[in-house]
Structure 1
Amino acid sequence: MNTILNGILPVLPTPYDSDDKVDSQAMKGVVEFCIKSGANGLVFPGVASEYDHLSQAERIALLSIIAETNRGRLPIICGGGKGTANEIIKNIQAAIPFGICAVMILVPNQFANNVEQARLFMAEICSAVPQVDIVLQNAPQPVGAGLSPEAVASIVRKIPNIKYIKEEALPSGARISELLKHAPEHLQGVIGGGGARYLIDEMKRGAIAAMPAAEITDLHAKIWQLYCDGNESSARDLYMRTLPMLLIQAIYRMRLTKFVLTARGVLSNDIVRAPLPMFDDADKLEINHLLSLLSPYIENCDDK
């Protein structure tokens, strides 16, 4: 596949209706919001999509809706999911008909102390789908293996269709620098994680993209563009203004994403399936206050 990933690639949340069923119409609205906000690609399903709380049928139905709504405007990066190598291969094969440009595969935490087994796991998957570009996701324990940059580079070096690395283990900036130092020729680039909380540092170190949650995609896209245009001062100013919201997002995860998207008129509710902390009234007041502080920099999303 020839698409080169870059810029802001939001991980789409999964909307639910009041009966806890997947809300297909709301998912269309999320896709349109991200496209109109200046996203450079769409990621689904990921951890921020509540992947573990979706059935296979729901994941495929949502991927179909995303592809239909997107109409080829942006590249779609599919999450490979969890499980055995064979289960992930089946997930990828089911996603290919929807025009995905790449698949993100998490190195599981059971390989934290066994780089060779991690390589064999990745190699088995990648060899089964040689036509698909792979994003190796290196997440910290307990979610992922949290491999060292040298270990990740050694895996990528031996598997030519791993074209990207999403580095989420901390400190992400130093790890990105090390990965790029040891990168093989076929690697297209390193993608930042951590919800864009380290976005400027990651960009300065050479990250070609970032995969945050979707609640402030427009602001992340503006930060990215300002920095790329050489206006680092303005990029930093806007970045600093987003950090209080992102710190809350680090705790409440998808609940914060959906609360903000509801406040912005993109979603009609903030229902989650994942077992996350609940907001109390003080939390809601604080989030709404932070949104009011960001209001000069964001558009009213009712028409997105």
Structure 2
Amino acid sequence: MTKPYTGIWPVAPTPFNPDGTLDLEGMKRVLDCMIDQGVDGICILANFSEQFLISDAERETLTRLCLEHVAGRVPVIVTISHYATPIVVERAQFAKDLGASIVMMMPPYHGALLKGTAEQTFEQFRAVGEVGIPIMLQDAPLSGVDLPVPLLVQMAQEIEMLKLFKIECPQAAMKLRALIEQGGDAIEGPFDGEEAITLLADLDAGCTGTMTSAMIPDLIGPIVRDFLAGNRQAAIDGYARVLPAVNHENRQCGFRSAKAAMMEGGVIKSDFCRHPIAPLHPATRAMLMELLTPLDPLVLKWGK
């Protein structure tokens, strides 16, 4: 079976003005820059969009703005994670009504001690499945919820709309390989994440797509396409070229990296992150630019 979901589907950062308010014009420029970077889809309101620092009213504003501005140019994934199942279902319906292509959600969790059981996780995803929009399950350490492969396979087989799996837990390649082997055609979109820090191993394990940050999708996308086309050495060479920058992003900067690069390239006016997130240390930021500049990514010249 040909996997219908492939390529690079990065997370859009949420730009703020220096006073901490939403930069809505900047948000439009972020989306345009990402589309110009050749992305296959865009994810909004995810962890790398600082979803945990955004109010419910702002979520609604951003969902409307992003879907209206993208206007079908690429598919849009709307993140809907919440501990409360009724809220997740409501968010899924809202996204669907506005024209989202997919919703992404983590299992139910709230802090370190409120974690959904396997049964509760299954029930929450099944409830969202009844909304009738494709779902991407995000298996990330942030939730602290254990999602063993047999559970994921059962969910994929029994919840029709659960089609995509973003696996970014430790040893992601091992889990992706087992998920694909055991789930077969029910695993329509096996993806990795974590800024593509394990991309090559995950592609080798059978993933068909990646959800990175919006920093350098124009450079990571060709790696995915080369690998899937059988151009293995070209993919290895491309990966080796970007890996120092990806490693610096993954281990030192996190979601602040894409905003720093976009500010440097004139995409957005400010890389402000809301408290309690600390700004990037100037030296950390300087090294990010030192690693990015020789790669000549679009982000560093898009707005200049």
Tell me if both proteins adopt one fold, taking TM over 0.5 as the criterion. Answer: yes
The aligned residue for residue 125 of structure 1 is: 128
Q: Is the CA contact (8 Å cut-off) linking 2:102 and 2:135 kept in structure 1? A: yes
Q: Secondary structure at the match of 1:182?
A: helix
Q: For 1:95-134, list aligned pairs within 5 A.
A: 95-109=95-109, 114-127=117-130, 129=131, 131-134=132-135
Provide closer, same or farther for how the CA distance between residues 120 and 268 of structure 1 changes in structure 2, counting only shifts above 3 A: same
Provide closer, same or farther for how the CA distance between residues 112 and 83 of structure 1 changes in structure 2, counting only shifts above 3 A: closer
Provide closer, same or farther for how the CA distance between residues 240 and 233 of structure 1 changes in structure 2, counting only shifts above 3 A: same
Provide closer, same or farther for how the CA distance between residues 14 and 113 of structure 1 changes in structure 2, counting only shifts above 3 A: closer
The aligned residue for residue 259 of structure 1 is: 260
The aligned residue for residue 19 of structure 1 is: 19
Q: Is the CA contact (8 Å cut-off) linking 1:111 and 1:117 kept in structure 2? A: no
Pairwise CA distance, 1:298: 4.8
Per-residue displacement from partner, 1:180-207 (whole Å, max 9, x unpaired)? 1111544313111121111121112211
The aligned residue for residue 284 of structure 2 is: 283
Q: How far, CA to CA, are the matches of 1:12 and 1:282 in structure 2?
A: 24
The amino acid that maps onto 2:283 is: A
The amino acid that maps onto 2:273 is: V
TM-score where L is the length of structure 2: 0.90
Q: How far, CA to CA, are the matches of 1:226 and 1:126 in structure 2?
A: 33
Q: How far, CA to CA, are the matches of 1:179 and 1:115 in structure 2?
A: 17
Q: Secondary structure at the match of 1:207?
A: coil
The answer for unaligned runs of 5 or more in structure 1 is: none
Per-residue displacement from partner, 1:233-274 (whole Å, max 9, x unpaired)? 222222122222222222321212211111122222111115
The aligned residue for residue 39 of structure 1 is: 39
The amino acid that maps onto 1:126 is: G
Q: Is the CA contact (8 Å cut-off) linking 1:10 and 1:211 kept in structure 2? A: yes
Per-residue displacement from partner, 1:41-85 (whole Å, max 9, x unpaired)? 010110011111111221121122212221211111111122200
Provide closer, same or farther for how the CA distance between residues 4 and 56 of structure 1 changes in structure 2, counting only shifts above 3 A: farther
Q: How far, CA to CA, are the matches of 1:116 and 1:53 in structure 2?
A: 29
The answer for unaligned runs of 5 or more in structure 2 is: none
Q: How far, CA to CA, are the matches of 2:7 and 2:294 in structure 1?
A: 25
Q: How far, CA to CA, are the matches of 2:92 and 2:282 in structure 1?
A: 42
170-179 vs 151-160, which moves further: 151-160
Q: How far, CA to CA, are the matches of 1:221 and 1:44 in structure 2?
A: 18
Q: Is the CA contact (8 Å cut-off) linking 1:173 and 1:205 kept in structure 2? A: yes
The aligned residue for residue 78 of structure 1 is: 78
Q: Is the CA contact (8 Å cut-off) linking 1:12 and 1:42 kept in structure 2? A: yes
Q: For 1:1-304, list aligned pairs within 5 A.
A: 4-109=4-109, 114-127=117-130, 129=131, 131-140=132-141, 142-183=142-183, 185-250=185-250, 251-273=252-274, 275-295=276-296, 298=298, 301-303=301-303
Q: How far, CA to CA, are the matches of 1:95 and 1:189 in structure 2?
A: 20
Q: Secondary structure at the match of 1:165?
A: strand
Q: How far, CA to CA, are the matches of 1:157 and 1:302 in structure 2?
A: 43
Pairwise CA distance, 1:282: 2.1
The amino acid that maps onto 1:262 is: M
Q: CA RMSD in A?
A: 2.2
